[in-house]
Amino acid sequence: MFAGKSEELVRRVRRARLAHRGVVVVNHALDVRAGGGRVASHSGLEVPSATVAGAGEIPGLVEPGTELVAIDEAQFFGPELVPVAVALADAGLVVVVAGLSVTFDGSPFEPLPALMAVAERVDKLTAVCMVCGRDAAYHVRVARGVALDGGADAAAPVAAHVGGAESYEARCRAHRG
Ligand SMILES: [Zn+2]
């Protein structure tokens, strides 16, 4: 999280549109951050998107002239996204997928690992550790105000989910536990 994945997806979509390529942008109905109907980056860039309830709806969005299918927050789609993305790529489309590859407890988060295995190209973006500033490949759930070492403003990982996206922090390998 906080690695600029949606930002990179939006950047590629905008470049493709500037090149007059047919583009379909897809997000999942469970992704409600931007209010639906668009993919937005943290820095404010956004593009319109088709909101679907499952990967099975994606092929139906492809029209004659579609050259690129961009799928954001792919972790919401689950493993059923893999055969759909492969079929689109096999049909000659460029498929750009952005999503989380690890869960908050550091485990592989399908379908991203499976998609990374069959992709021609993988760009692994990392955030910045909120503790030390190193590259952060992980994210943890945190509770504000929970004392970690006596400080009232310290943030500590907790087992329970306590809020929205603001309750996650990017962390490096040393600070993810
Ligand atoms: Zn760190």
pLDDT at 44: 83
Q: What digits encode the pLDDT tens for the residues 44-92?
A: 888 899 999 999 999 999 999 999 999 999 999 999 999 999 999 999 9
pLDDT < 50 positions in the chain: 145-165
Q: Please tell me the distance from the alpha carbon of residue 68 to that of residue 78, in angstroms, as a whole number.
A: 21
pLDDT at 34: 65
57 catalytic residue (yes or no): no
State the amino acid at position 78 in one-letter form.
G
pLDDT at 164: 46
What's the CA angle centered on 114, arms 11 and 74, to 5 degrees?
40
* 168 assigned ligand-binding residue: yes
pLDDT at 144: 64
Q: Which of 96, 157, 145 is nearest to 125 (CA)?
A: 96
Tell me, in angstroms, the distance from the centre of ligand 1 to residue 26's CA: 33
Q: Which of 8, 57, 67, 73 is catalytic?
A: 73
What tokens appear for 31 in the block?
């992704």
Domains and CATH numbers, the chain: 5-118 (3.40.50.300), 127-175 (3.30.60)
> Torsions phi, psi of 85, nearest 5?
-65, -40
Tell me, in angstroms, the distance from the centre of ligand 1 to residue 161's CA: 21
Tell me, in angstroms, the distance from the centre of ligand 1 to residue 70's CA: 31
DSSP bridge partners of 139: 170
Collect all residues with Cβ–Cβ distance below 8 Å to 166 and sequence separation of at least 6: none
